[in-house]
Amino acid sequence: MGTADQTYNPANYSAANHCHVAVPPPQPFVKSLTNTLKETLFPDDPFRQFKNQPPGKRFLLGFRYLFPILEWGPKYTLGLFKADLIAGITIASLAIPQGISYAKLANLPPILGLYSSFVPPLIYTVMGSSRDLAVGTIAVGSLLTGSMLSNVVDPTDEPNLYLHLAFTATFIAGVFEATLGIFRLGFIVDFLSHATIVGFMGGAATVVCLQQLKGIFGLDHFTHATDIISVMRSVFTQVHKWRWESAVLGCSFLFYLQLTRYFSKKRAKLFWISAMAPLTSVILGSLLVYFTHAEKHGIQVIGELKKGINPASLMDINFDSKYLAGTIKTGIVTGIIALAEGIAVGRSFAMLKNYNIDGNKEMIAFGMMNIAGSCTSCYLTAGPFSRSAVNVNAGCRTAVSNIVMSFAVMITLLFLTPLFFYTPLVVLSSIIIAAMLGLIDYEAAIHLWHVDKFDFVVCMSAYIGVVFANIEIGLILAIGLSIMRVLLFVARPRTLVLGNIPNTKVYRNVDQYQNASSVPGILILEIDSPIYFANSNYLRERISRWIDDEEDKLKSSGETALQYVVLDMSAVGNIDTSGISMLEEVKKIVDRRNLQLALVNPGAEVMKKLNKSKFLETIGQEWIFLTVGEAVGACNYMLHSCNSKIVNNEYEKYSDYA
């Protein structure tokens, strides 16, 4: 279309009024690629502090970046140490029974739980940036390791091989975590949404509780499956093997643990009652068994734990191709779950205490911790929520509380392991159940239901998937649904009809603003998302339906016929080649109906592409406006000053297409 006919040229109108939508200056490809990569991978600009520094200083800063202890270590004081000492001892008292319990969840020897609370915390103290995280094994990670590795090798038939594969999976998890951190791919963890985590954690906690029925009822044989149906069948087909002594003991300790939690919740100052409860349970249970010789009457006990600190296990790491696929899968899945929990815990306490955590740096720390752990007889560790919360409540100030805990565990390993000989397994089950009940966050699920139904569906599908099928299916379901939601948002963007808000030049969605009124003869649509291949077909159909509807409505009411279609592109962040074809087709549709198309406020990226693809020439630069108000102004100006001319002119144009 030419601009020859001066009378209908909106340039006449707008030149006198406002500035035009600019095509951004062309950027070299390499520069725009660098910018995009930088925004994608370094949104927090970690190199900022290195700018304008001499090389020596840069090296020092880089070293400090990797080892935050160099930053806070020199400023460490005795006052801080006092606080950390108390917190460290408190978490050690929790770490010892929890470590032993969780190792059993992973089908590993109990002593591994203690090993895993010795080396990894030391590594984290040096490399981690959280001041509140208490390092140790995590329930869900242990359960996942157990259920996934059991599919590779049977832990009862080949306990040694199984142990070695657990080290291998831990090694792989560590390498994977560190790699994610080094390549700044931390955002992968972001794809586990809050809703997914609530549902998944709740489901995993339920599954872990169900597994404990084995310990509570003192059963010898139990299903390897984790779903509720298999577990229930396993429990109720063995009713004749239930041990009432075990059940009574288990229930009493569970009651005790829940009671202490209740008191702690009522008074924050009494948190230590709940924090110490697991250790006191272990001590009480052990004493009970020791004095009553209950181990001879059907109460299973831990038995002998080897004295001494972690043996080296570097040589045990097994890359046998027969098991490699299974261990890699276990490593990656457990690694990412450990990251998700650890980083979420670190972030929430950092938010509470007002300091920053660099997710990618944390990943490197977690990765190194697990790599080192896999060489020193530890299995997967992260920052468990329960232990970290106790750490914070006990008043920790820096990561030194982890060193204290580590030291306490070392002493236990060196001297105190014989004391656990008589510890009944059922007490460990009670400790696990008590910890797990706290992870089922039904209040969060209710909140999701109130605020966002779709998030609730995601949450529940994760929960149901984990409980009724298995952990991986639950996870895949929830992540799949979350991603589907993002894709659906892009595939089905909303197109909103805008109307004028009285006495302003502002145009807003008529559904949201009841007082917004439409402009006669002009249809104003807002597109609510980037225009991509996934939505270009939809948008074309939807826009032509809007035009149909509007024409029908105007025809039946006898108002001014439709003359202009204005597309507000403010919210269109980007466009691809399919999207541009869509716009070309919309232009044809609009032309064919004898209407005029105008665009409003396309962003820099969109303008660039419209220009490159010559669509700017097709539509004419003068039909692109800065605001909806200007577009409507120009349209009205033409509607009133030269209405008949436009129609004629449009008919002429139409004859080209017919």
CB 535 within 8 A of CB 494: no
Give every CB contact of residue 32 below 8 A, 6+ residues apart in sequence.
none
- Is 29 a binder of its own copies (CB under 8 A)? yes
Binds its own copies by CB under 8 A, chosen from 125, 147, 281, 535: 535
Tell me the closest approach of the beta carbon of residue 193 to its own copies, in angstroms. Answer: 3
Place of tokens 């004295």: 307
Does residue 625 belong to the site contacting its own copies (CB under 8 A)? no
Shortest Cβ distance from residue 588 to its own copies (Å)?
7
Is position 114 an interface residue for its own copies (rule: CB under 8 A)?
no
Residue 482: how many other CB atoms lie within 10 Å: 20
Shortest distance in whole angstroms from residue 533 CB to its own copies = 3
Using CB under 8 A, count the residues that bind its own copies: 88
Site for its own copies contains 637 (CB under 8 A) = no
**Contact call for residue 34 and its own copies (CB under 8 A):** no
Does 308 participate in binding its own copies (rule CB under 8 A)? no
Phi, psi values for residue 388, rounded to 5°: -65, -35
Query: For its own copies, which residue of 304, 511, 559, 617 counts as binding (CB under 8 A)?
Result: 511
Measured between alpha carbons, how far is 534 from 538 in angstroms, rounded to an integer?
Answer: 8
Report the residue from 492, 594, 618, 637 that binds its own copies according to the rule CB under 8 A: 492
CB under 8 Å to 264, separation ≥6 — which residues?
270, 271, 272, 273, 274, 275
Q: Footprint of its own copies on residues 341-360 (CB under 8 A)? A: 351, 354, 359
Residue pair 276/240 in contact (Cβ under 8 Å)? The answer is no
Please identify which residue in the block is written with the tokens 């805008």.
Answer: 498
Of positions 120, 285, 493, 521, contacts its own copies by CB under 8 A: 493
- Beta-carbon neighbour count of residue 29 at 10 Å? 8
Residue closer to its own copies, measured from CB, 537 or 643: 537
Tokens of 362: 């944390």
Taking CB under 8 A as the binding criterion, the range among 162-170, 279-287, 328-336, 449-457 that sits at the site for its own copies is 449-457
Q: How far apart are CA 352 and CA 350, in angstroms?
A: 5
Kindly state the smallest distance separating residue 632's Cβ from its own copies, in Å.
Answer: 14
573 near its own copies, judged by CB under 8 A: yes
CA atoms 73, 78, 80, 82: torsion sign: positive
158 binds its own copies (CB under 8 A): no
Q: Is 529 a residue that touches its own copies (CB under 8 A)?
A: yes
Of the candidate residues 7, 45, 182, 355, the single one contacting its own copies (CB under 8 A):
45
Least distance (Å) from its own copies to the CB of residue 354?
6
* Of residues 160 and 514, the one with the C-beta less far from its own copies: 514
Closest by CA position to 138, among listed 152, 111, 117, 154 = 117
Residue ranges in 215-244 that form contacts with its own copies under rule CB under 8 A: none
Site for its own copies in 9-28 (CB under 8 A): 18-19, 22, 24
What type of residue sits at position 281?
A: S
By C-beta, is 7 or 36 nearer to its own copies?
36
Report the number of secondary-structure helices (H) and strands (E) in the chain.
Answer: 29, 6
Q: Which of 452, 559, 617, 652 binds its own copies (CB under 8 A)?
A: 452
Binding of its own copies at residue 49 (CB under 8 A)?
no
Instruction: Classify residue 354 as left (phi > 0), alpha (psi -120 to 50) or beta.
Output: left
Q: Does 621 bind its own copies (CB under 8 A)?
A: no
Does position 574 interact with its own copies (CB under 8 A)? The reply is yes
Q: Report residue 99 as tokens.
A: 């470590």
Contact, 474 vs 200, CB < 8 A? yes
Among 191, 236, 355, 442, binds its own copies (CB under 8 A): 191
Asked whether position 617 contacts its own copies by CB under 8 A, the answer is no
Q: If you write DSSP's letter for every residue of 271-283 in order, what string do you get?
A: HHHHHHHHHHHHH
Find the binder of its own copies among 515, 560, 641, 648 (CB under 8 A): 515
Q: Where are the alpha helices (DSSP H) in 42-110?
A: 55-66, 69-72, 78-105
